Structures are given as C-alpha cells and as structure tokens.
C-alpha cells in the first residue's frame, strides 16, 4: 500500500470513474485499476462497486476513503508548512471565491497583502458549489474559502466575519423607491423578483429567512451572481432581494449617477459570511495572514487606498459559477 495508491483511490471515489481519473493523471485506466486492486489485496475486502455508469465505494471503501483523505490532507499541509518555514515569506495562498467576492469583499486586502508579502503567490479559484469548496479544503487543494456560512460540516471549520442585511434593489422610478423600508410580508408577497442563483447558499438562506416570516417569494428571472441582479434591477427589468455587500450605496440612499435604489428589509435575518478552512491552527503563515487581513478590512480595522500595479503576482483560476 503506497501513498500513490491511496491518492488514486480517493480520486476515483470522488470522481466515480476510473477513466476520468486516468485522463486527469495522464495514464491508462488499467494503471488506475491496479492501484485499487493493490489496496483490495492488502485489505482483503472489495473497495469499489461497479455500476452502469462508473463506480461507487463500498462500505469498506468509504471507511478507507475517509481515513486516506484525512491522512493525505494532513501530510500535504505539513509539507506546505515545511516549505513555508524554509522559504520564509514566499509560498502561495489558494482561495476559493468568485469575482463578485474579490471585488466587494477583498479588493483592499488583496492590494495591501501584495505590498506586505510581495513573494507570496495568490491564487483565486472559482468553485461551483459550497460542497466543492469543502471537498477542496478537506483534500488540501485549497487553503481558504469565502462562503455563506451554514450548517457545520465534518472536518471543516467556519469563521463568521460579517453579517449582511438584506435590501430590495429597485429602479429609482419604482413605486417602492422612496420607502424608508419594505415589509416582506405585506409588500413582496405578490411581487415577482429576480432570483439569486437557485443552488447557492445565499439563496437557501434567503428562502429560510422568508419561511420564518411565513413568506414564499416568487421569481420570473434568474441570475448567476449578485452584481447581475443589481444591473437588471437598475435597468428596470425587475426587483431583486440582495445582501447589502460592501461597495453598494447606503440602504435608503440614492446611487449617485445610478438609477438604483436599495430599500432595507429589516424583518429578514441577515446573511452571515466568512471563512471556511480545514483547521485554523494548521493554516500556513501566508494563508493566515491573508485571512486576518481580509477580516480586518471587513471589520473596519484596516484601511489602505488602492494603487496601480499592486496586483502583480495574483492568479485567477476560473472553474465554475460565481459565489
């Protein structure tokens, strides 16, 4: 039983396919199968069950997958920390987020971090779901994930950073635009809205907050991110319920040159957002410094003007829908 055997086995369990793992590793399907067979010989049990479309781990396979993933993740983390100790300020920080998040939650911190840690490589990776972020954190592919906080997930630690109140985004000439606030039950019960990404954690939180008030919102338009919802509202295509994230006009105020108004929805429970990591005490020094800097800016403890050229060394790796 080798480390490569375990890595390949974990990859097969998560992909549900021998052939897809073979393509990813640049080897034959037979070579992938040999790794699994070697583990089965040594453990004396069947680890995979073939199905019409791919494979799934058996009960014994799930036990080994969980233990192997935990061990591999811990080993990879230890290796990265050793490299950080050798390299000092060099290294890398891999963050799961989306363009909207970087723009509204991290822009000041990214610039400040680049100035303070010029040798550290920042990688921003778009992950298609919260589950995908948690898997990537668990197997050591990512260091940090900026998420809408939710139920606890085994093996993942979540840290709240800010709570975002909900607002109704409308065009400036909308009948609701001059309201000091909007009553969800009375004013939105029969209104069709622009919907947040249906599978996103923010949409689930909004639905749950509305359900607490006995309200079910109706929708006739769906978007992939908060910025698009705001744009459509400004164009008069519809109204949108969005969190009041950083960079927006103050709720109840005008949007400057924009034809957009944001009306508070005080009855709705705020949206909690923050960091998810595998283990805070095991984060590499560069990753911990980045997480703390973002948190400092969001809590109002940091402040630094943006400057040109400060984003050198940052990578954005696309791989799915925005958060």
Residue 271 pLDDT level (bands cut at 50, 70, 90)? very high
**What are the domain boundaries of the chain?**
3-70, 88-162+273-317, 166-269
Least confident of 123-127, 238-242, 309-313: 309-313
Structure tokens at 154: 């085994």
Ordered strands of the 166-171 beta sheet: 218-222, 192-195, 239-243, 166-171, 258-264, 254-255
State how far the Cα of 214 lies from the Cα of 129, in Å rounded to an integer: 28
Written out in words, the top-level CATH class of the domain with range 88-162+273-317 is: alpha beta
Least confident of 42-46, 143-147, 185-189, 252-256: 252-256
CB 273 within 8 A of CB 97: no
- The pLDDT, as a whole number, for residue 319 is 33
Check for a shared fold between 3-70 and 88-162+273-317. no
Comparing CA positions, the residue from 170, 286, 191, 182 lying closest to residue 233 is: 170
CATH number for the domain formed by residue range(s) 166-269 = 3.40.190.290
- The pLDDT, as a whole number, for residue 303 is 41
CB 128 within 8 A of CB 7: no
State how far the Cα of 213 lies from the Cα of 204, in Å rounded to an integer: 15
Residue 73 pLDDT level (bands cut at 50, 70, 90)? confident
Residue 251 pLDDT level (bands cut at 50, 70, 90)? low
CB 9 within 8 A of CB 65: yes
Helix axes 18-25, 3-15, angle to 10 degrees: 120
| Average pLDDT of the segment spanning 73-86 | 69
Element (H, E) at 8: helix 3-15
CATH number for the domain formed by residue range(s) 3-70 = 1.10.10.10
State how far the Cα of 191 lies from the Cα of 218, in Å rounded to an integer: 7
Comparing CA positions, the residue from 96, 107, 82, 93 lying closest to residue 313 is: 93
Least confident of 17-31, 88-102, 250-264, 277-291: 250-264
Residue with tokens 């019960």: 189
| Average pLDDT of the segment spanning 89-112 | 82
pLDDT tens-place string over residues 81-91 = 666 655 545 67
Tell me: pLDDT of 267 over 90: yes
- The pLDDT, as a whole number, for residue 130 is 67
CB 18 within 8 A of CB 32: yes
Q: What is the mean pLDDT of the chain?
A: 82
Tell me: pLDDT of 302 over 60: no
Residue 43 CA: distances (Å) to CA of 13, 46, 202: 17, 8, 43
CB 302 within 8 A of CB 190: no
- The pLDDT, as a whole number, for residue 316 is 34
Element (H, E) at 104: none
β-strands 157-164, 271-277 pairing: antiparallel
């Amino acid at each position: 039983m080798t480390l490569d055997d375990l890595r390949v086995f974990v990859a097969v369990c998560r992909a549900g396919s021998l052939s897809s793992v073979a393509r990813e590793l640049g080897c034959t399907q037979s070579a992938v199968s040999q790794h699994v067979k070697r583990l089965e010989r040594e453990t004396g049990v069947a680890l995979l069950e073939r199905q019409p479309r791919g494979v799934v781990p058996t009960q014994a396979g799930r036990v080994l997958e969980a233990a192997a993933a935990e061990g591999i993740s811990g080993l990879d983390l230890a290796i990265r920390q050793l490299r950080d100790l050798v390299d000092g300020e060099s290294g890398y920080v891999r963050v799961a987020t989306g363009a909207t998040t970087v723009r509204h939650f991290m822009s000041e911190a990214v610039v400040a971090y680049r100035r303070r840690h010029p040798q550290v490589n920042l990688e921003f990776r778009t992950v298609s779901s919260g589950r995908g972020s948690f898997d990537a954190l668990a197997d050591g592919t990512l260091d940090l994930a900026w998420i809408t906080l939710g139920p606890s997930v085994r093996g993942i630690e979540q840290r709240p950073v800010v709570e975002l109140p909900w607002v109704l985004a409308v065009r400036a000439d909308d009948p609701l635009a001059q309201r000091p606030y909007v009553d969800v039950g009375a004013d939105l019960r029969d209104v069709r809205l622009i919907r947040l990404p249906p599978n996103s954690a923010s949409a689930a939180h909004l639905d749950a907050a509305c359900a607490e008030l006995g309200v079910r919102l109706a929708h006739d338009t769906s978007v992939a991110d908060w910025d698009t919802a705001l744009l459509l509202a400004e164009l008069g295509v519809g109204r949108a319920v969005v969190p009041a994230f950083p960079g927006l006009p103050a709720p109840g105020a005008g949007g400057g040159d924009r034809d957009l108004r944001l009306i508070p929805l005080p009855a709705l429970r705020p949206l909690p957002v923050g960091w998810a990591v595998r283990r805070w005490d095991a984060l590499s020094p560069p990753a911990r410094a980045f997480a703390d800097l973002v948190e400092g800016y969001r809590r109002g403890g940091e402040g630094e003007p943006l400057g040109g050229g400060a984003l050198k060394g940052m990578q954005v790796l696309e791989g799915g829908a925005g958060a």
